[in-house]
Amino acid sequence: MASRSVNKVLLIGHLGRDAETKFTPSGAPVTRFSVATTRNWKDQQSNEWKEETNWTNVVLWRQENLANYLTKGKQVYVEGRLQTRSYDDKDGKKVYSTEVVADEVILLGGRGESGSTGFEAAGSASKRAAPGRGAASPSGSGPEDDFSGMGVTDDDVPF
């Protein structure tokens, strides 16, 4: 009997800092950023609302052009898998790091958001980035634009 397992993470939150892209020795781009997610609940003892913010480190492979649009404060949807790795620090002590390896990153929010860039104005298809699938062309008519030929523009989308 085969056993099953699932390693899937979905996050919707705000970027805590601007994304940084670096390159591996073989030239593969690696983009790193952190996402803040907030949970609210009502304390049963004091009847007060409480808030807890969790910071999650995210790594995105082979999407070098996306870092320019992943700026502090932007709301994003991240889908990926949880990965824990270890390394030895400069003192020889083993350090563990847990992060989300993103398969998909989508910018949320509309053009009315402060700090709007041409990236958001390019259409929702270009807000998507996943390994093996480049972002759509700036005209919004790239391979992921399901509405090309229908006359649907960015102004027709309500968000």
pLDDT at 62: 85
Cβ neighbours of residue 46 under 8 Å, at least 6 residues apart? none
Give me Rg for the CA atoms of the chain.
19
* Token pair 């939150």: residue: 13
pLDDT at 67: 79
Specify the range with the lowest mean pLDDT, choosing from 42-46, 60-64, 81-85.
60-64
Are the beta carbons of 29 and 53 closer than 8 angstroms?
Answer: no
pLDDT at 114: 47
Q: Is the dihedral of CA 107, 112, 68, 14 positive or negative?
A: negative
Residue 146 or 14, more confident: 14
Token digits of residue 58: 């995210």
Percent above pLDDT 90 for the chain: 47
The CATH superfamily holding the domain 9-117 is: Nucleic acid-binding proteins (2.40.50.140)
Say yes or no to pLDDT of 23 above 80. yes
